[in-house]
Amino acid sequence: MKVAISYSDALVDPDGHVAGHDAGATLVRRLLRIFPGSRLIGPGPRRYPDLEVIPLEFLDGTDTVVITMDVLDSVSVWQTLRATCDEPQVMNFVWWSTSQYTHKVQRSALALSCALFPTFANSERTANEVREIVSAGTIPPLAEAAKIAWVNLGIRLEHLQPRQEPSVPVVLYPAIYLSERKQPQVFLDVVERVAKRTPIMVEARLHESHLISEQAMRLSRRDWAWVGPLTASRDDYWHALARTTAFLATATEESYGLEYIEALVAGAVGVFPDRPWVHAILPSGYPFVYRTPAEAEEMLLRAVTDTAACRAEIDRAAGGSFAEWLRARHDDDQFATAITARVAQWFGS
């Protein structure tokens, strides 16, 4: 059985590599790696040394499973393939928070898609949300037959680099967008108060579409802040994480939290809001979870002024080694094993 990946926002550079550091691009590269010989659906066709891009209309649906990351478009994908084969094989990959879809048409389309096609989610929490949406938005026979599975995305642990403690503590804005869900104003308010109490350097690496936003400009005017584009390569990204002291998470909702896991594994002290998505990725008793901006300020201040003690406190909460706790639960080898097993179970080897 062959595999093709469908993601409408995927960009391929002139050398035939999927470009970008956002979660979507990262996951496309991961899926292409997990399924050797898989193809990317897109305009074309185009052939590169290590990648083939093929239009959906050119695909042979009789021997190819389409894993689509554009889940609301799954019925359309099926209809296109149905023109040339009797039983198109389509699988959803839900890698984002379902809360982003609020309109009844979007929620209904998501419910129908996940009821009709086998669906793989990026975390247990996301899978539960999908089940609730399917149950509420479709008829019982469809909901009862829905195939939904999950595993934590995890990260590629081989990317880790040795710690390099900076002379001035570095606080990371742990996202590449300044969208409302990320609550960037809360981040700015808290780090501004901390900067008045102790020397810090705030770093924000943003997607180009958000670099020219008013909030990005406002942050960049602080003499203790650096705002710039995304790193040029994954090695540069992990090098930057290796010298990050702490980060302040402010998002109201996340489906998994890939960026946070990567920063934690790299050794940064994470300060998190008291939200369900946070408790799903951290050990119970994790000490740096705040309920108010004032609590966030005090926790972040401790993280940058008494970092070693904070790390020791986190280790105790994890039962010995927080790094090992993270590795055991967020290794992308588990993701690779789980998704390949589900493809084989749902569609045959």
Instruction: Enter the DSSP assignment of 324.
Output: H
**Per residue in 74-89, is it b (16+ CB within 10 Å) or e — as a string?**
beebbebbeeeeeebb
CATH number, residue 298: 3.40.50.2000
What are residue 4's DSSP bridge partners? 39, 66
Q: What span, in angstroms and rounded, lies between the C-alpha atoms of 151 and 280?
A: 12
Dump pLDDT digits (tens) for 25-59: 989 999 999 999 999 999 889 999 999 999 999 99
Half-sphere CA count of 34, side-chain side, radius 13 A:
24
Residues 171 and 319 occupy one common structural domain: yes
Dump pLDDT digits (tens) for 178-187: 988 899 999 9
Phi/psi for 291 (5° steps) reads -110, -20
Residues 10 and 77 occupy one common structural domain: yes
pLDDT of residue 250: 97
Residues 81 and 209 occupy one common structural domain: no
Q: Which two three-digit tokens encode residue 79?
A: 């209809």
CATH number, residue 120: 3.40.50
Dump pLDDT digits (tens) for 177-235: 898 889 999 999 999 999 999 999 999 999 888 888 888 988 999 999 999 998 877 78
Query: What is the domain extent for residue 191?
Result: 157-329
Residues 25 and 149 occupy one common structural domain: yes
Residues 275 and 336 occupy one common structural domain: no
Residues 250 and 339 occupy one common structural domain: no
**Whole-structure pTM value:** 0.84
**Structural domains in the chain (count):** 2
Q: Which two three-digit tokens encode residue 60?
A: 């042979």
Dump pLDDT digits (tens) for 68-103: 999 999 999 999 999 999 999 999 999 998 988 999
Q: What span, in angstroms and rounded, lies between the C-alpha atoms of 148 and 146?
A: 6
Residues 182 and 312 occupy one common structural domain: yes
The residues, ordered by sequence, that sit 6+ positions from 269 with a Cβ below 8 Å of its Cβ are 245, 246, 247, 288, 303, 307, 310, 311, 314
